[in-house]
A and B are shown apart, each in its own frame.
Chain A
Amino acid sequence: RKEVEQDPGPFNVPEGATVAFNCTYSNSASQSFFWYRQDCRKEPKLLMSVYSSGNEDGRFTAQLNRASQYISLLIRDSKLSDSATYLCVVKPRGYNKLIFGAGTRLAVHP
C-alpha cells in the first residue's frame, strides 16, 4: 500500500465548478500536511499547508481528519488557470522528509 494515496483523475470540470480532491495517508504519526500544485513539466510549488482546524485561502479550502487519516482540498469557482496536478504531501513525525502522493490531475474547460 502506498504511504500517500490519491485518485489520479483526471477531473474534467467546467469553469465555475466546485471540485474536491481526497487523499489518504497510512502513517498515523504523520505530523504535517500540505497541498502542492504542479503545472505540466514544471516544478511543484506549495499551494497551502493543511491544519487540523481546516484552513482557507481564497477559493481553496483544505481539511484534515486525523482520525480517518484523510486530507481534502476543495476548489470553488474553478478557473482555467487552476488546471494542474495537485499533490498531497505528508511529513512523518521524526523524519526530515516529505512523502508525496502521485497527484490528481485537474482540467478546467471553458
Chain B
Amino acid sequence: EAQVTQNPRYLITVTGKKLTVTCSQNMNHEYMSWYRQDPGLGLRQIYYSMNVEVTDKGDVPEGYKVSRKEKRNFPLILESPSPNQTSLYFCASVSPLADTQYFGPGTRLTVL
C-alpha cells in the first residue's frame, strides 16, 4: 500500500529541546515536502526536497532544518523549538506525473 508515515503523531515538548519528526514514503517519489498548518493560514511550505541531497527553503523555513540522505526519508529537525512552532505538521510526497501530493497523517506539536 502506497503511504507516507510520520512519527511521532503527537509531541509535547519544552522550549529549546531539540526534536526530530521523521517522514518516510514507499512510493519512490523524488519530491518531498514539509508543511505546517495553523488556523486561518492554511498549509505553508517549510522545506522541500527535489531529490537525495537536494533541499530548499519553502515559505516559512526559519527555525527548521531538513536532510535527505535517502530517497524514502525526509526528517524535519527543530534544533531549538519555540512556542511559535506549536502547530500541525504534514509531510508530503509528490507524484511527478499527476502533481498529486500524498500527505502523511500529521504530527501535532506543542512547544511549552
Residues of A within 8 A of B100 (CB): 46
> From residue 11 to 45 of chain A, which have CB atoms closer than 8 A to chain B?
32, 34, 36, 41-45
Query: Which B residues lie at the A interface, using CB under 8 A?
Result: 31, 33, 35, 40-45, 48, 50, 58, 88, 90, 94, 98-101, 103-106, 108
Q: Which residue of A lies closest to B35 (CB)?
A: A100
Question: In the complex the two chains form, is B41's CB within 8 Å of A44's CB?
Answer: no
Name the residue among A4, A41, A44, A49 with the largest chain B CB count within 10 angstroms: A44
Asked if A42 meets B45 with Cβ closer than 8 Å, knowing A96-B50, A97-B58, A102-B40, the reply is no
Report yes or no: B99 in contact with A102, Cβ–Cβ below 8 A: no
B42 touching A102 by the CB < 8 A rule?
yes
* Chain A residues proximal to chain B, CB less than 8 Å: 4, 8, 32, 34, 36, 41-46, 49, 87, 91, 96-98, 100-103
In the complex, chain B residues whose CB is within 8 Å of the CB of A91: 99
Q: With a CB–CB cut-off of 8 A, which chain B residues contact A41? A: 88, 106, 108
Q: How far is the CA of A29 from the CA of B35 in the complex (A)?
A: 23
Complex partner residue of B103 from A32, A44, A49, A97, CB under 8 angstroms:
A44
Does A97 lie within 8 Å of B99, measured CB to CB?
no
> B103 touching A8 by the CB < 8 A rule?
no
What residues of chain A lie closer than 8 Å to B45, measured between beta carbons?
Answer: 97-98
Report yes or no: B43 in contact with A100, Cβ–Cβ below 8 A.
Answer: yes
Are A44 and B43 in contact (CB-based, < 8 A)?
A: yes
Closest to B91 in A: A43
Quick one: closest A residue to B101, CB to CB? A98
By beta carbon, the residue of chain B nearest A36 is: B101
